[in-house]
Structure 1
C-alpha cells in the first residue's frame, strides 16, 4: 500500500462549469454524405464465443476489451477495484488501489499495460479534503507497485504503449474554469513522471471540457496499440493519432452520418490501425434511428475523416422496435485485429474478423 503523503496535494474536486469559447479553429464545415466506399466490406463469422456473466452484470460499469482482456470496473460508490477477465471468461487479474493515509480512492479509468498488468487513473483524498491525482500500476497480486502524481492534471483516461509509457487524456480544473490554455493529452513514465504534452485546449471547439463530454452525454476514447495512440472525442468530432516513434501528430475532423445526431457508444483500435465505432441514434429505449458498426475512413478530404457503415451490421430501428436476433448489438473493443462484439439475443461475446480489402 502506497502512502498518500507521496501523492498529496491540497485541493478540492470541483465540477467544471466554464463558458469556454475558443476561436482558434475556423467554423467547422457542415455534415455531408460522402460517397466513399468503405475499406471494410463486412465481418466474418464468429470464430470464438464466450459468456461473461460475472463481468457484465449489475454493479459493474460498462467494460471494454483491451490487450486480450475484458476490463471491468466496479460501480462508483462501491469498492474501486478493477478486474481483468480473459477470453475464456475467467478472472485473470485484479487490482486494489489503496494508499496509506487516504480516506478514499476514486478510479476514473483503467487499462492494460503491454505486459498485462493493470493501469488505473483517478484521485485519492484525505480526511482533511486534500486531493492527489494519480496514475498507478499494480503487480500480479493486485497491489500498487508504481505510481506517478499528475497534479494539477486530472487523468480521466489512460492507455499504455509497448515502450512502457502511459498516455492520459484529461484536463486541469483551474485553467478550464479560467479559460486558460493547457495540454489535454500527456505522456508519463513511472520513472520520469511527465515526459511530453500534446493537444492544447483551445484547439477543441467545446465550451465545456472535451474530456468530460463537452457538457453533454458524448464520450471520448483513448486507445493505444504497439506504435500509435488514438484519441476520438465525440463531442467535438475530433480524431487524433500520434506515432510513438516520431511523435508526429495527425488530426482529422470527422463527418458523422444522420446529420451528426449519432453518438459513439463503443470504440475499437486494431493492431494494424483500423478504427471502428459503435454508432447509434437510437439512444434511449424505443427511439427510432440507425445503429451499427462504422469504420472511420481517414483522409476522405484534406483533414477530414468520415464514419462509414460496415456492410451487414447497420440496421434502422423504428419506434420501439427491438434489434433483430443475431444482428449486431454492441462493440466492446479490439483484440488484435479482431473485433469483440455482442449480437442481439445471444448472451456471449463474439470474436469476428473484419473483411478488409483482400484480407480475411
Structure 2
C-alpha cells in the first residue's frame, strides 16, 4: 500500500535523517576550519576544534630567577611562573623534564636530587632550593595549566595584512573570470551544433568529447606549456586562460549538449520554418532556455579555477605580480608558517569565501543543469 500515488512512504523519516546526516557530515570540515581560524596555535595544538568552547590543558616552560637568597647552606629562589612565561589560566601540575611536564602535583615539594627541591603553588608562586648558587641560568621548569578558551581576529589580520595578498586576490579574479567565461562561450556554440545541426562525423565528435572527460590534465601540462612557449604566450595570463579553457571544454560541451538535446523540438522547428537561421535560433531561443546548464557549468568552472594551484604554478610566471591566492598561501604562508595552523586555517577560509558566495548564489541552477537530458 506504500506505493499508492499520493501516500507518503513509512520510511520517510529514515530518508530525512539520512539527508540531515549527510549534510552535517559534508559541512563538518568547513565548520572545523572556521573555528580553527579564530584560535591561536597553542590552543589548536592542545585540543581539537570541537573542544574550542572548553578550557584546554597546555604545557609551558619557564626558568627560575637567578637571584637567590641564602638561608644557611641553602640558596632559595622565589618567583612566579606566570610572570616569567606567557602562560595563562590555572596551574595544574609541574615538572623539570620536557617528557613529563606534569610529573608533580601542585602544592607538593618535588625532590630533584643533589639536595635540590622545587615547589609551586596554585597561583604560580614557586620556591626553588639548591645547595649551590643558581649561576647565570635558573632551573628550567615545565608546567601544565588549564587555559580558558580564547578567540581572536589576529589570524585574519595577519592573512589580510600579509604583503602581496591584495594583489594575489586581484590576480585570482583576473585568472578566474576569463577562464570561466571563455569556455562557456565556446562550449555553447559547440553544444548547439552537436545537438541540433546535422553534419558528417557528428557522432564521432560526441564520442571524442566524452572520451576527453577521463583524460587527466597532468598528462597535458608539459606539452601544452611547450606549445604556449612556441606561440609566445607561455607563462602568462593568456596562457593560463587558454589552459583552463582547454581543460574545461569537454565537460562544458557534454553538459550543455545534454541540456540542449532535451529542449522542445517543436519550438526550434517552428523557428526554422519561420525563416530563422541557426544563429538566430541559438541566440534567441536555445541560449536563454539553456541558462540553468550555463549557470551549472559556471559554478564548476569558477570553483575549479579559483581553487587551482597546479595550473597556476605551471602557466603563470613567478613573482608577486602574477601570484594567485592558492599559490600565495602555499608558498608564502605555508612555507614560512608551517606550524601556525591558525594562520593556515584563516588563509584557507579567506580563499574559499568567494567560491562559497558564488555557489550559494547560483546553487538553485546546479541540480537543474546536472539533471539535464537524464529524463525525457
TM-score (norm 2): 0.19
TM-score (norm 1): 0.20
Q: Which has the higher helix share?
A: 2
